[in-house]
Every structure is written in C-alpha cells, then in structure tokens.
Chains A and B, each alone.
Chain A
C-alpha cells in the first residue's frame, strides 16, 4: 500500500513540475491532468483493501452483513474520484478550447508570450 501512496505523490510532484517549468500550454494542461490523477490514485488507495470485494448491494450481502462489511472496499473514495474525474474532464476540455483560441489570437502556445495585458 505504501507503494501506491509513493506513486500518487510522485504523480503530484510530476504534475507540479510540469506546471512550473514547461513552456507549452498543452504541456501545462497535461501537467494539470497528471496532478489530479495523482490525487485520484491517492483517494482510491485510501479506500482499497487487499483482497477486498466490490461494495455493491446484492443478495449475499444481507445474509452475512458483518462479513461483507469486513471484506468490502470503501465505496466513498470511488464516488469522490468519479465526481472529480467529471470535473477534471470539464476543466481539460475548457482549457483545450481556450488553447485553440489563444493559438488563433497569438500564433504561439508559449504561455510566457501571453502577456499583452500587462502592457
């Protein structure tokens, strides 16, 4: 399990690195997606249990409720991750659309060239 947390935090660090140092809007957006995916992995790992079963209501569940509860994985992080993925899709789609417009207006994808407002 520690392995999962390490990878998750590595992904977050990788995303941050991309956001801080890359000079291309598309790469920035990829960095953002990687960063969020690291957080998703962390969340999923929080609820995971080795050899666990899916927490879906079924007939067997009611026959042995305590046993089911002892073996099932935590469904809450999965719901959270699904919600977060939806949000992330919106952000990435919107960012890419903006990138298209930015390329049309500025002719470049370099974010450091997008600074006409400051002048």
Chain B
C-alpha cells in the first residue's frame, strides 16, 4: 500500500492529534461519562489506522510496529489481571475496589475503575491495530 494523495495525507496528519486526544478523553473519563475503555480504545486505534491508510504501511510500521502492538496488547491485559489480583491481595475478593474512592465526579476518583479503563483502552487499541495489521499481512501474502 503506497498511501494516498497529498490532500488526504495533510488532513489525516492534522486530524490525527485530535482524534487521538478524543479517544484518550473517552478512556480517561470512562468512570464518569458514557464510554470507557472499549469505545475509547477503538477511537485511538481508528486514528492510527487513518494514518496508515493515508501514508502507507511502511511508514506507519516505523512508528508502531507489529511487535510494539503485540507487547502493548499483553501489557493492557496484564494491567487488568494485576489490578484484579490487587483486590485479592489487599482485600477479600478478586477485582475488589481497594483503592481510595475519592470524591464523586472528579477525574481521580472511583478507586481502580479509571485504571481498569486505562488497561482496557490500551488492550483494545493495540488489539484492533493488531487485527488491522494481520489483515494487511494476509492480503500481501503471509509475511510475518
């Protein structure tokens, strides 16, 4: 995939920070407003996919390679499991909310919920990106 015309590239480059920021906003406010890790992660992945479509896979791979995405996906999953185990170690049950709850409606509140959403967001963003990469590789002929 060689990428698209200058117009598309420019607009994709301009839009990318805003899309990414919006995704991050949705992830971080998951415990306060509708949305959360999954929709936010998808938006973040979509922003990167947009860049890949505009610039072509070769340039995108220099920034976020297949390996990075794979590691990030594992990290996202591990964050969730480790938070769950924290509940086990410090509290009584798995995934118990053992962190201070804070004040209702604040960004840093609700104990482990924002952290969980962060884990989910990382995992989903990396996962969707991995799916996209895998399909591209499948099209181009099986190189890993």
Contact = CB atoms under 8 A, between A and B. Distances in A.
Complex contact flag A–B (Cβ < 8 Å)? yes
A99 B105 CA distance: 46
B139 A100 contact: yes
Interface string A40-81: 000000000000001011110000000000000000000000
Interface in B102-130: 104-105, 128
Nearest to B131: A93
A86 interface: yes
B135 A93 contact: yes
B27 to A, nearest CB: 14
Contacts of A86: 38
Given A54-B34, A56-B34, A82-B38, A100 B138 contact: yes
A59 B134 CA distance: 45
B33 interface: yes
Interface in A80-105: 82, 86, 89, 93, 96-97, 100-101, 104
Interface of A: 54, 56-59, 82, 86, 89, 93, 96-97, 100-101, 104
Interface of B: 32-34, 38, 104-105, 128, 131, 134-135, 138-139
